[in-house]
Structure 1
Amino acid sequence: MAIDKSIKAQNYFKSLVNKYPSSQAIKACATYYNTSIRSFQNALAELPDDRETASYDARVAGDGPDHCQSYLVVEKKVNISLITTLNNDMQFLSFVAFLSVERLPSK
């Protein structure tokens, strides 16, 4: 779910690049989400053998949306209300994924 939502979010940012071509923040957000996608994918792949690394990757998957939000706030070129909701959702999913891995029983 988190991977799919991250991909959809990244595609949304890519579509916004055409709408706001002068916004460096929007371009950066698409890149930040690429990092989030990779982190979620890595967490899933590492889960069976390396829960500590999977937990870390799940947690840092929320960094991309956090950086995106900060960049948008500073730039002030785009109405960010919908984007803020999207970023918050992704940070929440990252935290839930992290907690889920942390709470798994030991092997």
Structure 2
Amino acid sequence: MRQYNFYTYILTNYTKRVLYTGVTNDLERRLQEHYYGIDQVDSFTAKYKCYHLVWYERHQYINHAIEREKEIKGWVRTKKIALIEQENPNWHFLNKDIMEWPPKLNE
């Protein structure tokens, strides 16, 4: 049986003041899209420069990833921070752990 990968993730900006929660089937590609503003020039992540990955979770099924995204988006900020700090207490930017950072634009 084929193994699928879907991700729920949290991004922040350099000052760690803004949090963005999203879902994707390709985390590396999605981080690149956020970084280069490919999603939209006037998007939330572009406006607040949220492209530093601080937390992510893999799911086999897209509906689980989406449910988790909705759950986290409904939380207060302190609960999101607690989730991040469970696995990443020093708020390291995890982008470098999964890809070249800053990413090169694929052409």
For normalisation by structure 2, the TM-score amounts to 0.25
* Greater Rg over alpha carbons, structure: 1
The structure whose RCO (Cα within 8 Å, separation 6+) is larger is 2
Structure 1 or 2: more helix by fraction: 1
